[in-house]
Structure 1
């Protein structure tokens, strides 16, 4: 690998941006394709699928064997609200290799006893996002579960502004209609607000907190594994 290619790759990694290193196994030529460049690449569809799968491997293009080395940032899940659903969701998400942070200023809920071995931040979301908690980005999923606009809304605004891969919020359609009105008044355009999955989670007729957690995690994984143009 050329030094300039390695330098670009390291810079993209440090900035939590995805890349695919395309290597022609026949002649050894390489090119680094950043996520921002994929749409203009002749292998765009193939690269999008490889990036969505998060897996490196051989592909065939124009009767040549091409090796794709995928570098995608680790996905982080930020849960807003240390509620019963979050208690079930956090360990499930860790089991599928998501880095999990739970944020809730209500210290009666945000306790290590309720969230063992979970990164727990008992503070207001707008006070810690980008400060104590790393800034949100395109490789973050945000699940707003507190059911309290004072806690959920700042996180939803931050998630929409950061272009997070998944943004979901707990609540009924009536609750969400009120949320839409608040976000509209805050200046968010309809297309941004429409990115919020509400009611949160896949429709599996979930009832218990654990079942709702399963629905949420399934929706996050489904979103993650679809190529970005299909989301």
Structure 2
């Protein structure tokens, strides 16, 4: 998890270190707002901050309210609205309004309980999708998932859409696992692809058992696993927040990875190669016992058809298709 995404974790660390901590969450927006619903900011008792709910004067006001909340143990709902003329100065480009929920952490008053925050952090560490529910009238809180008897259906729909928001008076704050892009084959296309994926918010992982391909000098700062793809994918654990792309052109490496991905809940599986190459791939997978319906889930040739030719252009096409599948279904 990127440091800038570890907001609940930071708040818990500050609280346990005795500094005091509060969590601020964007719960509603109207018009133009620079941060979406669900965005969070952690504030320590010393005024340190991590994350963002907006910017400029809005963020400063949120921090001041958070420090007050740490003093009285009471959560508060704040609303900020500005005209177009003043919008830029306070971080609401082109005008708009936002509502921000501020919750102090601790045992006092109606604070966010430490044990609930710890359970949330544990769920995030385990890559378990969970929603933090806050009733803004009673201030009752709990963690829930799609199996919840009351709001399970709504939570499931929100998780699929990756969209936090209100269900009546209850704010459903989603904590979906971070998106992952797992690239099988440390080839030349993989180099720009992992860089672009990281910029788009994915945590990239490269798998290649060939040391010369997966050398650190070719992928500085990236996670490169020197193992056979099927074993590496099993160890990583594939889920509905994972995308897999195979790039080796070598059936010994690609096919086991493809079969592992097809046996999982990954939201995207793409495979490099021409239509002719994919036809041979389909024949091999059918011979291995995979049903045509499952094989049809493969995106091949990989990437949107934008006429890409260079490694960078192909990487753009691949990432665009992944995002299209994620956001448009």
Task: Give the TM-score normalised by the residue count of structure 1.
Answer: 0.80
Equivalence for 2:270: 168
How far did 1:50 drift? 3.5
Q: 1:156 to 1:193 in 2, by over 3 A?
A: same
**TM superposition shift of 1:86:** 0.4
The count of aligned residue pairs is 218
Shift of 1:182: 1.4
The answer to whether the aligner puts 1:72 opposite 2:72 as a matched pair is no
Once the two structures are TM-superposed, the CA of residue 210 in structure 1 deviates from its matched residue by 0.7
Change (3 A) 1:43 1:106: closer
Aligned-residue RMSD, C-alpha: 2.8
Quick one: distance in 2 between partners of 1:34 and 1:91? 32
- 3-state SS in 2 of match to 1:130: helix
8 Å contact 2:184–2:207 — kept in the other structure?
Answer: yes
Kept in 2, the 8 Å contact 1:52–1:225? The answer is no
Residue from 127, 130, 133 that aligns with 1:22:
133
Structure 1 residue 83 corresponds to structure 2 residue 191? no
Separation in 1, partners of 2:223, 2:123? 26
- Report the alpha carbon displacement of residue 30 of structure 1 after superposing the two structures with TM: 4.7
Q: 1:190 aligns with which of 292, 315, 325?
A: 292
CA distance, structure 1, for counterparts of residue 213 and residue 115 of structure 2 = 49
Aligned to 2:199: 95
Q: Which runs of 5+ in 2 are unaligned?
A: 1-111
In the alignment, which of 154, 163, 181 is matched to residue 283 of structure 2? 181
CA distance in 2, matches of 1:49, 1:211: 34
Q: Structure 1 104/12 Cα, relative in aligned 2: closer, same or farther at 3 Å?
A: same
Report matched runs for 1:30-41 at 5 Å: 30=141, 32-35=143-146, 37=147
Deviates more, 1:158-167 or 1:121-130: 121-130
Structure with higher RCO (Cα < 8 A, 6+ apart): 1
Cα offset for 1:33? Answer: 3.6
Aligned to 1:119: 223
Residues 41 and 165 of structure 1: CA distance in aligned 2, closer, same or farther (over 3 Å): farther
Displacement of 1:9 after TM fit? 5.2
* SS of residue in 2 equivalent to 1:205: coil
**Residue of structure 2 in register with 1:219 after alignment:** 321
Q: Spell out, residue by residue over 1:44-94, the C-alpha distance to the aligned partner (whole angstroms, 9 max, x if none).
A: 3x54553245453x43x5xx3331110111122110111111011011111
Displacement of 1:153 in angstroms is: 0.7
CA contact (8 A) 1:89 1:210 kept: yes
**Deviation digits for residues 157-196 of structure 1 (CA, Å, limit 9, x no counterpart):** 1111122121110111221121112112222222221111
Q: Secondary structure at the match of 1:201?
A: coil
CA positional deviation for 1:140? 1.5
State the partner residue of 2:159.
Answer: 51
* 1:98 shift after superposition: 1.4
Query: Alpha carbons of 1:146 and 1:20: their partners in 2 closer, same or farther (altered >3 Å)?
Result: same
**What are structure 1's unaligned runs of at least 5 residues?**
none
Q: What does residue range 199-218 of structure 1 map to in structure 2 within 5 Å? A: 199-218=301-320
**Higher Cα Rg, which structure:** 2
Aligned equivalent of 2:258: 156
> Scaled by the length of structure 2, what TM-score is found?
0.58
